[in-house]
Amino acid sequence: MLQKRVIPCLLLRKGGLYKTEQFKKPTYIGDPINAIKIFNEKEVDELMFLDIDASVENKEPNYKIIEDIASECFMPLCYGGGIKNVEQMKRIYALGAEKVSISSQAVLNPKLINEAADIFGNQSVIVTIDIKKDFWGKKKVFINNGKKNTKLSPIDFIKQVEALGAGEIVINNCDNDGMMKGYDIELLKEIKENVKVPIIALGGAGNLNHIKEAFETAKVDAVACGSMFVYQGPLKGVLISYPPYEKIQDLLGNK
């Protein structure tokens, strides 16, 4: 059983660190290496980097930035973006990443999940699923940065991904992305009731209570946060931060 974690999720774009709102309005935050240095000092559980351009622009993963990030990172690292085959994954692992996240390819080529899990082990293969409401208000699985509606049911697709051998699944609510108003607790609860694979909640965290609610009410195995760890105050001034160890333990119910 994986330990519960609170994971900063950082978005890469053109080699820089960015933040979005509902997958739109990318705002430059700063240099990813500087952010890693701060998170190293804060003794963060794990780091997740997602390249938001690679798949949409049909680019290879940026191996140079992955190497730079991995060499600076003192904690387990997960990378996602532009990954289409096991050869790319092998190269990313060799550069120092412990986990690789598949997103669009999990829909377009689901056999890649099974192939990667067989070669690298389930614990090294993460699937990030972007979910948002369609025109009729129904929650569906989207790909290509929330631009393409696959029309897949989230629960059905998550069960398929679980069966194929994903070690963990990131549930990213596109509608909540960057809004800092809380996770989609009802969706997360429904997912946890239907699958056994560890679930990481992403999209919407704005304060410690949101994280606590995800653990206590939705029973997720981990949470990932973006805006909460890079912004400060109502004007969203850029400030890389992470809760103190004692507060994290309280969130995890260890106090």
Got the DSSP string for 84-105?
-SHHHHHHHHHHT-SEEEE-HH
Q: What share of the chain is helix, strand, coil (3-state, %, to 5)?
A: 35, 30, 35
Note if 177 is an active site residue: no
Q: d(Cα 77, Cα 97) in Å, to the nearest integer?
A: 5
Q: d(Cα 130, Cα 30) in Å, to the nearest integer?
A: 25
Identify the active-site residue in 45, 51, 53, 130.
Answer: 130
Q: What's the predicted TM-score (pTM) here?
A: 0.94
Q: d(Cα 240, Cα 190) in Å, to the nearest integer?
A: 32
Whichever domain contains 77, its CATH number is 3.20.20.70
Range of the domain at 9: 5-251
Number of structural domains found in the chain: 1
Question: What DSSP character marks residue 126?
Answer: E
Q: Which two tokens stand for residue 79?
A: 């990378």
One-character DSSP codes across 209-242:
HHHHHHHHTS--SEEEESHHHHEETTTTEE----
Per-residue pLDDT of the chain (255 residues), as tens digits, is 457 899 999 999 988 999 999 888 889 999 999 999 999 998 898 999 999 987 777 889 999 999 999 999 999 999 999 999 999 999 999 999 999 999 999 999 999 999 999 999 999 999 999 999 999 999 999 998 888 999 999 999 999 999 999 999 999 999 999 899 999 999 999 999 999 999 999 999 999 999 999 999 999 999 999 999 988 766 677 788 888 878 877 777 765
